[in-house]
Amino acid sequence: MLEEHGNVTLVVDTMYINKIPFIVTLSRVIRFGTIEMIKDERKSTIFKLLEQVINAYHGRGFKIRHVLMDRQFECFRKYMEAAGINLNTTARDEHIPEIERYIQTVKERIRATTSTLPFEQLPHRLIVEIAYNAVFWLNCFPHKEGIHSTLSPHTIVTGSKIDFNKHCRLQFGTYVQMHEQHNNSLLPRTAGPIALRPTGNEQGSY
């Protein structure tokens, strides 16, 4: 797999949901997507997030050779060249089809999840977690245009596998009871939180 697809091309763009900015990436061929909320849209903040994505691929033996971005990211060129990555930006009013379509798919999943929730108001953190949840599950199934017919992009890039019995126990937005630290008093020993998403670890934490 590394011999044939070790050199990776990454497509990157920004996405907004209720005015909340996200940086979204997608690798060609592997079809592994990432999403991260941007606390501020400064150049240093965005580049730090991109570095984390690049390091995740490098940790599994893949090498990011090319990055495709909109013209607004031209300021990253010297940083990319220093890392040995070729940056290719689009022309004016031009877009990258793969990432635009991927963002559209993510937003469709977000709308679908939101329509199942009984809440009239969605807090900022809940909207962010809905977006993370959408990308998490998109990565968990083999892509028909991916590099493997049975391994998901999540498994290929992170090395971890998804177990139905561990990671599919709770639906997004489910009201649950969670154990809380306690003493010998008569105070409640559980709290009533809202389940968001699996973290993806081996033990199936949410």
Q: Cα dist. 59→45, 159, 172, 179 in Å?
A: 21, 10, 30, 35
More confident residue, 112 or 95: 112
In tens, the pLDDT along 127-140 reads 999 999 999 999 99
Q: H or E segment at 53?
A: helix 43-59
Say what the pLDDT of residue 57 is.
Answer: 93
- Kindly indicate the confidence band of residue 3, based on its pLDDT and cuts at 50, 70 and 90: confident
Which contacts qualify for 121-126: CB closer than 8 Å, 24 or more apart? 122/18, 124/20, 126/194, 126/196
- The class (CATH top level) of 2-162 is alpha beta
Say what the pLDDT of residue 47 is.
Answer: 87
Say what the pLDDT of residue 41 is.
Answer: 78
Q: Cα dist. 5→11, 74, 164 in Å?
A: 16, 26, 28
More confident residue, 32 or 96: 32
Task: Cite the residue boundaries of each domain of the chain with CATH code 3.30.420.10.
Answer: 2-162
Say what the pLDDT of residue 64 is.
Answer: 92
Mean pLDDT of the 55-71 span: 91
106 three-class SS: helix
Instruction: Please tell me the pTM assigned to this model.
Output: 0.89
